[in-house]
């Protein structure tokens, strides 16, 4: 079964709007795990507009499923990740002021930089995933520099899903086939939701994990987080 990792950034965004501790990010992460989520994802940014460094430190001691920290691999980020020792670090190419992730790495053009970062994180016992577009060439490049996994940027799939789901998923299937052939893991994330997730999962030859935040938190406003996680897990069952 494909694992569900809940990105809790938006919970921290809501908390930070009042400058207090409501909602409680740590409590929310624990609840997500208790309700069946198999991982917790955070994306700390330099301006701490949602997840803070303190959140990362607390969650590193709290999360009992897989803890995934994603972000641009600046020196500060690398130091934070090594100290927190999560199960997985996901490297994204976002600029510090990016609103959200909008593209995967050009791994070939950044191979030496990424190779060095991957080596440091793996030496610390951390699994490393590289955020890429649905391109077999990028999957091969990531594998060649030592990445344990790639995470496919799925917004193009989500944007095209309503018009033609089969056509929308084709490049992701090819990337998944290449990951399976190379023997590296495959994650996916960005704009996956209850409408498009089941078809995506059923179409993919390999899919280890999905990381979903915005849609889950939005659905939870109407459904509650327990029911929302159950609905997403149902989409991921064989």
- pLDDT for 84-120, tens place per residue? 999 999 999 977 666 566 689 999 999 999 999 999 9
Backbone angles phi, psi at 93, to 5 degrees: -90, 20
Three-state DSSP class for residue 145: coil
H or E stretch covering 139: helix 136-144
| Catalytic residue set | 43, 70, 190
- pLDDT for the residue 131: 98
Taking the C-alpha atoms of residue 176 and residue 203, their distance in angstroms, rounded to an integer, is 10
The strand ranges marked E within the chain are 3-7, 39-42, 66-71, 88-91, 127-132, 149-153, 185-189, 209-212
Could you tell me which of 180, 188, 212, 53 has the C-alpha nearest to residue 132? 188
Pull the structure tokens for residue 198: 């089941």
- pLDDT for 15-66, tens place per residue? 999 999 999 999 999 999 999 999 999 999 999 999 999 999 999 999 999 9
Q: What is the pTM of this model?
A: 0.95
């Amino acid at each position: 079964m494909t694992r569900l990792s809940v990105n809790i950034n938006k919970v921290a965004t809501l908390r930070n709007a009042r400058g207090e501790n409501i909602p409680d990010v740590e409590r929310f992460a624990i609840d997500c795990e208790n309700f069946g989520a198999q991982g917790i994802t955070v994306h700390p940014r330099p301006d701490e507009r949602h997840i803070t460094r303190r959140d990362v430190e607390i969650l590193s001691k709290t999360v009992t499923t897989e803890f995934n920290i994603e972000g641009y691999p600046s020196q500060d980020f690398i130091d934070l990740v090594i100290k927190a020792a999560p199960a997985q670090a996901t490297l994204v190419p976002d600029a510090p002021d990016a609103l959200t992730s909008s593209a995967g790495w050009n791994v070939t053009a950044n191979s030496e930089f990424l190779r060095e970062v991957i080596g440091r994180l793996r030496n610390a016992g951390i699994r490393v995933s590289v955020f890429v577009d649905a391109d077999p060439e990028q999957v091969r490049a990531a594998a060649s520099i030592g990445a344990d996994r790639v995470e496919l940027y799925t917004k193009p799939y989500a944007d095209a899903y309503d018009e033609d789901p089969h056509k929308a998923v084709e490049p992701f299937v090819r990337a998944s086939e290449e990951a399976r052939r190379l023997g590296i893991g495959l994650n996916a994330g960005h704009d996956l939701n209850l409408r498009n997730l089941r078809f995506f999962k059923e179409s993919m030859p390999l899919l280890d994990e999905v990381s979903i935040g915005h849609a889950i938190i939005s659905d939870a406003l109407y459904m509650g987080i327990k029911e929302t996680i159950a609905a997403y897990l149902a989409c991921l069952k064989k």
